[in-house]
Structure 1
Amino acid sequence: MSGVFISFEGGEGSGKTTIASMIKEALTKEGYHVALTREPGGVEIAEKIRDIIHDVKYTNMDRKTEALLYAASRRQHLVEKVIPALEKGYIVICDRYVDSSMVYQGIARGIGIDEVYQMNLFATENILPKRTIFFDILPEDGLQRVYANKDREVNRLDLENIDFHRKVYQGYLTLCDKFPERIVKIDASQDVNQVFNQVLSRIQEIL
């Protein structure tokens, strides 16, 4: 595959979705072909799974069911959208990927980071991003942004208590140490233009 696979990661309200759109616009102006997508979702079947995962009615969902649904959604999205775009030479920017499952289900839900990692390596056939940008912001600050943004989708994970989101944050820091060759950390508490410029610089390093 001749394209470049990049993922954006972070807790709720980290700003990664906003920056992803800005990065796509900037790279497109530079002449690159860019595909911007998200997980869970990105294609019809995966979006249907997203609806189930995020539905606030399903607070009783078993943690392993949740992890398997994410992996199933990821598989369909990968084979239907990500791989074809990479084969065409596109830069693919994915809003969340395997790392989200490792921290949300592996660490915060307590399934185990290695167990979730192996499950997702099976689902993705070992396809990982060339670079992952972690949007580093304290969970309290991120959630404050979520509640302040009336237009943002409020999902089942937003309803978790603060201890859950702190575990997610610590999980991301663990992954930064575990995969330093792939994951780079950006201070997401900065002004949006500062974050954008730093993210763009770290992406341009691998193009």
Structure 2
Amino acid sequence: MTRQNDLPFSELFSAYAAGTLDAGLALLVETQGALRADIKDAVGQSEAVAGAFLEMTEPAPMRAGALESALAQIDALEASAPAPQAGGPVDDGEMDQLPEPLRYAIAVSGNHETWSTAAPGIHRIALDVGSQMEVELYRIQPDAAIPRHSHGGQEYTLVVTGGYTDSSGSFGPGDLAVKGPEDTHRPVGDAGEVCFALIVRDGAFRLTGALGVVQRILGRR
């Protein structure tokens, strides 16, 4: 397991500034930036650097009709995007506390009423943000535990509200934990406030122990 401060995250921010970052990770960066001024500043610096390199790039001629084509594609995207919807199965007061990028992602996903139960006291909802990765928002009640599991790839967990603790430490609002296939853990919601966590992963969620056996028998991830 790695905490964000242990990683050279300039590549992540640079990809975001260049517009090449996966949509799920872009949502994570935007949400964390809304929670932490240092992340917002780091992203801003990356955007400034990207802008400077763009200014230094030799301009290339545009093909005929390029502007009209780009505007038509933007219009098509806007027309196909679902309208934001309010409300949901979770207390509105809780949802109001989430950062704006995350609230918008929940709204445009169009499935804000399809929270599923992952374990006692654990609810989750898939977010459709056009990502190639799996993007979910978890709601973890105090003292509730996500079943022990490992990972088929990288898993990024951003705490939005409240907090959780596992064998690697405690994580609070704005903290980002990155885990890989070598990591196994059992996150438990901290006492007090409900924990909302944004999770982006590029590999399977693999249960361990008896639950893992059941998962493999059923053929589920």
Normalised by the size of structure 1, how large is the TM-score?
0.26
Greater strand proportion: 2
Greater helix proportion: 1
Structure number with the bigger relative contact order (C-alpha 8 A, sep ≥ 6) is 1
User: Which structure is larger by alpha-carbon Rg, 1 or 2?
Assistant: 2
